[in-house]
Amino acid sequence: MILRQLEHILLAQTYTPITRSSSYQSMRCSSIARFFTSSGGPRAFSSMVTRSCKMESESFTFGPYKINPKEVFYSTNLSYAMVNLRPLLPGHVLVSPRREVKRFADLTSDETCDLWLTAQKVGSQLELYHKASSLTLAIQDGPQAGQTVPHVHIHVLPRKGGDFEKNDEIYDAIDAKEKELAQKLDLDKERKDRTLDEMTQEADKYRALFA
C-alpha cells in the first residue's frame, strides 16, 4: 500500500508540466520525505531520500570541473565524497573540500578537520561494505607530488590481501590514475570509461550507507 502511494506521488510529479528546476526538485523530494514520515514508514528511507534530493539540487566543483551531483554520495557543509570515474579498486572514492583549494596548507582549520572526519566516516563504511580489511588514504599535495587536478582531495581505497602484488605499487597506480583523471573529468568531453548511469548506481548504493 505504501509503495503504491509513493508511486502515485512520483508519477504525478514526474508528469507535472513544469520545468525541472531546483525548486521543483525540492518540492518533489519534500513530498516524498513528508509522505514517509507521516505514514509511519521507514524513517531511514525518508532520511535517505531527503539527503539524496538535497545533494541533487546542489552544485559541486572539482578544480575547474563541474561534478554531476548524482556522483556525490555524501556531503557536509564543508566537504563532499564522490565516486571515481576510474577506480583502482572497488570502493575507490574521492573526498574533497567544497571550497576550491589547491594545496592542503591552504585549508582552514575547520575544513581540515571536516575533510578528515569525512574521510574517516566514508572509509569505515566502505571498508565494511566491500568486506575489506584495511584502508589506504592518500593525498597528492602539489604537482610534484603527482596532483593534476588543482583541488585538494583524499583518495580513499578499501584494501584486501593480494589486491596488489607489492603494497607500495598502489601509490604508482594512484599517480597514473590522477593523470588520467585530469584528462577525463570535463563533462563536456565524451566519456570513455564508466558511464554516468554506472557511477550514479554506485553512488546510490553508497548514499544508502549514510541514511
Residues annotated as part of the active site: 153
Paired strand residues for 168:
none
- DSSP category for residue 155: E
Cite the DSSP H helix spans in 40-155: 43-56, 109-129
Strand, coil or helix: 172: helix
Is 147 annotated in a binding site? The answer is yes
* Residue 198 to residue 66: CA distance in whole angstroms: 18
Q: Give residue for cell 565516486.
A: 83
Nearest-5° Cα angle at 182, 181 to 188: 100
Is 140 annotated in a binding site? The answer is yes
Is 149 annotated in a binding site? The answer is yes
Residues of the binding site for substrate? 84, 140, 146-149, 155
Residues of the binding site? 84, 140, 146-149, 155
